[in-house]
């Protein structure tokens, strides 16, 4: 279906390329016979000028046709490569988060780079080789059989069925082993990305040798898969080379006898070996062709399987942002229970809660208590049953993804900055003016740090914002959320990398913008949430306590114990 959609648009150009290729192949069929006749003319002391001009004309015509058919075919396959990568990227954006939780980025990288390239080569070079083999093989055999000698033809091509049998038997093995190669490459890619992404941690723990050993194991698995593929290629490539060369020996031996018996001329044998070459060289390349086709087929099946995964987010719904969603910030949870697809126990258990519009709510709790999960569900990053989460009185499942998220400002634990300028990371593709960007940076307590840089907001960041400190990355992410002026602001542990002075300043600025806006602040630090009129204390996926800071201190429960621990450590005053 996906390839059909592409071919419907590009078939005329691709078909023209195939047509020009067939014409080129048919012209090449004229060459052996012309050379054979020229040899016979020379043997009779005749003039071969006409033959030479004819060969020159054919050569020039073929050169022009080769240029145009390669432009048509290869140009189409490059567009196919572009099309497939766009399809994979677009599909990846709308898949369930569980796909990323399970597979990670390695599989997507292998699909986008290796698999798409293999499909392009199969549809381009593979088809060209296949047409060459088909046209030149059939027409050359016909010319040999009908215009030179049928018996010589049959004797000379006798070894070729061995090649076809080997190809049929071993082709399926190549397909399976190449599929394994791609899977191992995905694992290797993902491991390498994780390793280099966390190279500071590796060095800090002196784990270079340990991870080198682990990488060697992963790399060895990848090598083993490739060696298994190479072994099968080592079997059938000699078969596809030795058997065709035997055809030449048979042709020269049997053809020489026919010349002695005056049944064919020297020119006929020369033409015959020329035609035989047009058959043999494609056959010798049959192993390479099968390799290309099987690799392309295995890669296409992986791409097709990926593209047919049912998206979590309806694309038409995602794209419908023409009508802005107006949220008043009112949130209601009704007996909400949630379990991640790969988890063995629920992350949230029976949560019931109503947060009035314009409220500021602090959420604290131990690691793994469900704080981050709650924010993710408010964003509809994971599916929840109907009737469990309501915003502004509407079931969250009735709200379009983009319309919902456009009304929410979200700052995750991982700042998730991109290789762009600081200003572009804040605006995130939206047309905000310069003053709005500066105001958002001021509120996020990062404007002075940015202005201190030579290029200011035009400073380009490295991958994942690596040219900023951890605290600066978090504050740029806060600015990215604040510039949207959202009705609902979700802050997930944004104070973890901040010093206490910067934290206090950011909290003061949040007070400035909290009026009329619902704000949920997740934090490990009591100091970051104690100003909130409502504080939720979560434990093992449940709301263990709820109240103001003073009420929770007086209750002497989990919140009080967290407060005492942090007070003793000097983290709160």
pLDDT in tens, 181-194: 878 887 888 788 77
Q: Decide which of 485, 509, 543 is a domain's last residue.
A: 485
Task: Say how far apart CA 380 and CA 93 lie, in whole Å.
Answer: 14
From the list 112, 109, 86, 115, the residue with the least C-alpha distance to 194 is: 109
276 and 419, same structural domain? no
* Start-to-end CA span in the chain (Å): 64
430 and 295 share a domain?
A: no
Which residue, of 250, 280, 310, is where some domain finishes? Answer: 310
Q: Out of 169-178, 264-273, 501-510, give the one with best mean pLDDT.
A: 264-273
Question: What confidence category does residue 110 fall into, taking pLDDT thresholds of 50, 70 and 90?
Answer: confident
Residues 258 and 121 in one domain: yes
Rounded-to-integer distance, Cα 545 and Cα 343, Å: 25
Query: What helix, strand, coil percent values describe the chain, rounded to 5?
Result: 65, 10, 25
Say what the pLDDT of residue 326 is. Answer: 64
Closest CA to 482 of 432, 448, 527: 432
Is 82 within a domain? yes
CB 336 within 8 A of CB 384: yes
Position 510 in a domain: no
Which of 97-101, 171-175, 541-545, 563-567 is predicted with the least confidence, judged by mean pLDDT? Answer: 171-175
Task: Please report, rounded to a whole number, the percentage of residues in the chain having pLDDT higher than 70.
Answer: 93
- SS3 state of residue 402: helix
Reading the block at residue 328, the tokens are 């008043």
Mean pLDDT computed over 267-291: 83
- Map tokens 């992410």 to a residue: 477
Query: Exposed, middle or buried: residue 24 (CB in 10 Å: 0-12, 13-18, 19+)?
Result: buried
Structural domain harbouring 124: 75-310
Distance (Å, whole) CA 548 – CA 434? 39
Bridge partners (DSSP) of residue 348 are 338
Structural domain total, the chain = 2
Residue 286, pLDDT > 80, answer no
Per-residue model confidence (pLDDT) at position 174: 74
pLDDT tens per residue across span 522-557: 988 888 888 889 999 999 999 999 999 999 999 999
Q: Quick one: 281 and 427 in the same domain?
A: no
Tens of pLDDT, residue by residue over 386-445, are 999 999 888 998 888 888 888 889 998 888 888 889 999 999 888 899 999 999 999 999
Tokens 């047409």 -> residue: 131
Closest CA to 485 of 324, 347, 370: 324
CA distance 223 to 391: 53
Confidence class for position 316, pLDDT limits 50, 70, 90: low
Whether 375 is in a domain gets the answer no
pLDDT in the model for residue 319: 43
Domain end position, chosen among 485, 509, 536: 485
CATH number of residue 92's parent domain: 1.20.1560.10
Extract the tokens encoding 88: 């994979």
Q: Is residue 318 part of a domain?
A: no
17 falls within a domain? no
* 64-74 pLDDT per residue, tens: 999 999 999 99
pLDDT score at 323: 54
CATH of residue 448? 3.40.50.300
pLDDT surpassing 70 at residue 347: yes
Identify whether residues 419 and 298 lie together within a single domain: no
- Between vectors from CA 58 to CA 57 and to CA 62, what angle results, nearest 5°? 120
User: What's the 3-state SS for 362-381?
Assistant: EEEECCCCCHHHHHHHHCCC
Which token pair is 80?
A: 């196919």
Tell me: do 83 and 217 sit in the same domain.
yes
pLDDT of 317 > 90? The answer is no
* DSSP string over 198-267: THHHHHHTT-HHHHHHHHHHHHHHHHHHHHHHHHHHHHHHHHHHHHHHHHHHHHHHHHHHHHHTTSS-HH
Distance CA(177)–CA(224), nearest Å, equals 11
pLDDT class of 573 with cuts at 50, 70, 90: low
Angle, helices 266-284/160-197, rounded to nearest 10 degrees: 30
What b/e sequence results for 368-395 when a residue is b if at least 16 CB atoms lie within 10 Å of its CB, and e otherwise?
ebbbbbbbbbbbbbbebeeebbbbbeeb
pTM of the model: 0.75
Contact between residue 218 and residue 187 where contact means Cβ atoms under 8 Å apart: yes
Residue 155 CA to residue 149 CA, distance in Å, equals 10
Structure tokens at 280: 């043999």
* Percentage above 90 pLDDT, the chain: 38
Residue 230 and residue 114 share a domain: yes
In terms of Cα–Cα distance, which of 21, 28, 29 is closest to 128?
21
Q: Residue 407 and residue 411: Cα distance in Å, rounded?
A: 14
Are 229 and 178 within 8 A, CB to CB?
yes
- Examine residue 126 and state whether it is found in any structural domain, yes or no: yes
Residue 273, CA atoms < 13 Å, CB-side half-sphere: 18
DSSP symbol at 460: B
Most confident of 102-111, 206-215, 233-242, 432-441: 432-441
Q: Give residue 200's pLDDT band: very low, low, confident or very high (50, 70, 90).
A: low
Q: Which position has the token pair 């006409």?
A: 50
Please tell me which residue, 104 or 476, carries the higher pLDDT value: 476
In a domain, 15, yes or no: no
What pLDDT, on a 0 to 100 scale, did the predictor assign at position 211?
A: 84
Whether 334 is covered by a domain: the verdict is no
Q: How is residue 560 written in tokens?
A: 């009080």
Return the minimum-mean-pLDDT range out of 107-121, 278-292, 551-565.
278-292
Helices and strands: H and E segment counts in the chain: 22, 10
**Cα-Cα-Cα-Cα dihedral sign, residues 453, 459, 465, 471:** positive
């Amino acid at each position: 279906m996906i390839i059909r959609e592409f071919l419907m648009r590009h078939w005329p150009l691709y078909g023209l390329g195939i047509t020009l290729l067939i014409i080129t192949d048919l012209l090449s069929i004229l060459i052996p016979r012309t050379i054979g006749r020229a040899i016979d003319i020379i043997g009779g002391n005749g003039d071969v000028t006409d033959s030479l001009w004819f060969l020159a004309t054919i050569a020039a015509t073929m050169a022009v046709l080769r240029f145009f058919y390669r432009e048509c075919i290869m140009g189409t396959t490059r567009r196919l490569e572009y099309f497939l990568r766009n399809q994979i990227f677009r599909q990846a954006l709308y898949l369930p988060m569980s796909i990323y939780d399970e597979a990670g980025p390695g599989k997507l990288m292998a699909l986008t780079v290796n698999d798409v390239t293999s499909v392009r080569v199969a549809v381009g070079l593979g088809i060209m080789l296949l047409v060459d083999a088909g046209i030149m093989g059939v027409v050359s055999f016909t010319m040999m059989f009908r215009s030179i000698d049928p018996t010589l033809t049959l004797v000379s091509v006798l070894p070729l069925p061995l090649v076809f049998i080997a190809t049929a038997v071993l082709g399926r093995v190549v397909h399976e082993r190449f599929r394994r190669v791609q899977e191992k490459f995905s694992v290797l890619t993902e491991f390498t990305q994780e390793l280099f992404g966390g190279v500071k941690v590796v060095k800090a723990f002196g784990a270079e040798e340990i991870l080198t050993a682990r990488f060697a194991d992963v790399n060895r698995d990848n090598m083993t898969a490739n060696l298994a593929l190479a072994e099968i290629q080592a079997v059938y490539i000699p078969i596809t080379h030795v058997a065709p060369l035997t055809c030449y020996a048979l042709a020269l031996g049997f053809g020489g006898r026919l010349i002695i018996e005056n049944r064919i001329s020297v020119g006929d044998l020369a033409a015959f070996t020329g035609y035989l070459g047009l058959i043999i060289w494609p056959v010798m390349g049959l192993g390479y062709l099968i390799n290309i086709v099987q690799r392309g087929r295995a890669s296409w099946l992986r791409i097709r399987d990926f593209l047919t995964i049912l998206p979590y987010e309806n694309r038409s719904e995602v794209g419908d942002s023409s009508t802005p969603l107006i949220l008043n910030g009112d949130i209601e949870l009704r007996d909400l229970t949630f379990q991640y697809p790969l988890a063995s126990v629920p992350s949230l258990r029976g949560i019931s809660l109503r947060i009035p519009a314009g409220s500021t709510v602090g959420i604290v709790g131990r690691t793994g208590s469900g704080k981050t999960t709650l924010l993710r569900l408010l964003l509809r990053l994971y599916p929840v049953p109907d009737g469990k989460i309501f915003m502004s009185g509407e079931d969250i499942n009735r709200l379009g993804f983009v319309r919902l998220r456009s009304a929410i400002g979200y700052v995750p634990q991982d700042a998730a900055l991109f290789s762009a300028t600081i200003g572009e990371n804040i605006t995130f593709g939206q047309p905000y003016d310069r003053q709005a960007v500066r105001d958002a940076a001021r509120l996020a307590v990062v404007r002075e740090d940015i202005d201190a840089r030579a290029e200011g907001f035009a400073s380009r960041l490295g991958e994942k914002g690596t040219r900023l400190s951890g605290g600066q990355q978090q504050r740029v992410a806060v600015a990215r959320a604040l510039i949207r002026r959202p009705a609902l602001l979700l802050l997930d542990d944004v104070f973890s990398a901040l010093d206490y002075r910067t934290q206090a300043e950011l909290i003061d600025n949040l007070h400035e913008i909290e009026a009329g806006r619902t704000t949920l602040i997740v934090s490990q630090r009591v100091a970051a949430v104690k100003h909130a009129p409502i504080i939720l204390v979560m434990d093992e996926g449940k709301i263990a306590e709820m109240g103001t800071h003073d009420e929770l201190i007086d209750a002497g429960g989990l919140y009080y114990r967290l407060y005492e621990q942090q007070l003793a450590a000097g983290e709160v005053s």
